[in-house]
Amino acid sequence: MRARCVVLCWVALLLCLCGCAPQSAGSRLPVYGPEDWERAVHRQGIDPKTLEYPLAYTPEMLDAATTAAGPVGSTTEKLGRLQDYLFSNRLFRFTYEARDTYTAAEAFEHRSGNCVSFTSLFIALTRAVDIPVRAALLTYPDTIEQEGDLVVVRNHIAATYDRGQEVLIFDFSRMGKKRYASAELLDDLGVTALYLNNLGSEELFVGNEESALRYFETAAKIAPEYTPTYGNLGLVRRRLGDIEGALAAYHQGLRIDLRQPTVLNNLAALYHSQGKEVEALAAVAAADPRGATPDLLIVRGNIELVEGKPKVALRHFKSAAKLTPDAPGPQVAIARAQLARGRAAPARRALLRALEMDPENETARQLLEENPLPG
């Protein structure tokens, strides 16, 4: 029996889900207990009493883990026994439920839940017997699906144990030996943010935007470096009519990880809704995992333009032009930055270069018509 485990962290209206920056699964991060977690949450300006610690274990879980792990054997052997215990229909019958995100204690009580729930349960049981197992977010290629009007990017959470020379990954999925594209090790605050993102996503799916907003805002405070949150936060703010707040969320996410696909896709959707097709296309291109350095530079410059920094934006656009000297897109971007600076002549030169490269470029032609040189 292998539970199918899929992380439900979203973004877009286009709704896209938890992307992650490549990071070694062997990187060292702190492993918290309940008291350490409470102190860490408090340092983030949040009362820990208002949250659930998703990796907490109960006395019943301690008894079960102690019995399952056994009194003798190596750490690896005990981990194997705990894994066997969770997969035993006789000892622990567990039902996979895609939309049920539970804490470890709730998953133990209900004997059901999704990937986040099941992996949290395994981590909690291992820690109950003093084995410091941690979570890792795995990204697989080709994990984009359609659910109604939402485009969902699905990633997968696993448990890891660092043995020094190697890292064991306990991957509770039906993906078999399919290779993952990247792994991001999560500390307990990251797991908490992922848990809150899932709860917010579930609220978003049923139309409870205000409730979803509270979950996403808390997740951003708990783990401000966990970038998928900003894609989700921007999405729900946009749905609530807070366009400036949505842009602020996307920009914050891209400051941390300029390749974050959930943020880029949502940003593209927002630009499209505003009729900013050039900016939207740049964000979509930058979200392409096959590598889009010039597009990323253009997205970064567009952010600076929105924030009223055309001189900084111009530097990014010129860097993109150097990387792709035959592409009209960076030239059009340069023209927009120059126009924002009130410099019509260099803007016109950039637009003419763009039209030399692509005589059918409607954006360049339109900007030329809208911004003639003074007589």
Domain boundary among 231, 247, 280: 280
Q: Does residue 163 sit in the same domain as residue 227?
A: yes
Question: Rounded to two decimals, what is the model's pTM?
Answer: 0.72
Residue 285 lies in a domain: no
Asked, for residue 322, whether it belongs to a domain, the answer is yes
Which pLDDT belongs to residue 142? 47
- For residue 75, give the CATH number of its domain: 1.25.40.10
Average pLDDT over residues 78-104: 89
Six-digit token string for 242? 């807070």
Q: Which residue among 280, 315, 347 closes a domain?
A: 280
DSSP helix, strand, coil percent of the chain (3-state; round to 5): 55, 10, 35
Q: Is the same domain home to 324 and 250?
A: no
Same domain, 226 and 158: yes
Q: What value does the mean pLDDT of the chain take? A: 81
Q: Residues 6, 101: one domain?
A: yes
The rounded distance, in Å, linking the Cα atoms of 20 and 190 is 12
Residues 227 and 337 in one domain: no
Domain end position, chosen among 255, 280, 305: 280
- Residue 275 confidence (pLDDT): 79
Residue 328 lies in a domain: yes
- Greatest extent of the chain over all pairs of C-alpha atoms, in Å: 90
Which residues, including other chains, have CB under 8 Å from residue 19's CB and lie 6 or more apart? 139, 153, 155, 227, 228, 231, 260, 261, 262
User: What residue numbers bound the domain in which 7 lies?
Assistant: 1-280
Backbone torsions φ then ψ of 174, nearest 5 degrees: -95, 15
Q: How many domains does one find in the chain?
A: 2
* Tokens of residue 13, six digits: 């209206």
Q: How far is CA 94 from CA 88, 100, 200, in A?
A: 9, 13, 24
More confident residue, 241 or 14: 241
| Residues 173 and 87 occupy one common structural domain | yes
Do 252 and 143 fall into the same domain? yes
Q: What is the pLDDT of residue 14?
A: 32
How far is 249 from 267, CA to CA, in rounded Å? 10
Instruction: Quote the Cα angle for 247-251-256, to 5°.
Output: 155
Distance from C-alpha of 33 to C-alpha of 132, rounded to nearest angstrom: 10
Phi/psi of residue 325, nearest 5 degrees: -65, -15
Higher pLDDT, 191 or 150: 191
Q: Is residue 130 part of a domain?
A: yes
Is 51 part of a structural domain of the chain? yes
Same domain flag for 365 and 311: yes
223 band by pLDDT with thresholds 50, 70 and 90 = very high
Burial tier of 299 (Cβ tally within 10 Å: 0-12, 13-18, 19+): buried
Q: How far is CA 292 from CA 21, 69, 259, 320, in A?
A: 15, 48, 9, 10
User: Considering the chain, what percentage of its residues have pLDDT values greater than 70?
Assistant: 82
Indicate whether 349 pLDDT > 80.
Answer: yes
Classify residue 370: in a domain, yes or no.
Answer: yes
Residues 62 and 30 in one domain: yes
CB neighbour list of residue 63: distance below 8 Å, 6 or more residues apart: none
pLDDT digits (tens, 9 = 90+) for 134-179: 998 876 554 544 444 444 455 678 888 888 778 888 877 644 455 6
Give the separation between CA 53 and CA 44, rounded to whole angstroms. 15
- Structural domain contains residue 286: no
Q: Do 238 and 365 lie in a common domain? A: no
Quick one: 149 and 29 in the same domain?
yes
C-alpha–C-alpha distance, residues 327 and 364, integer Å: 12
316 lies in the same domain as 357 = yes
Establish if 175 belongs to a structural domain: yes
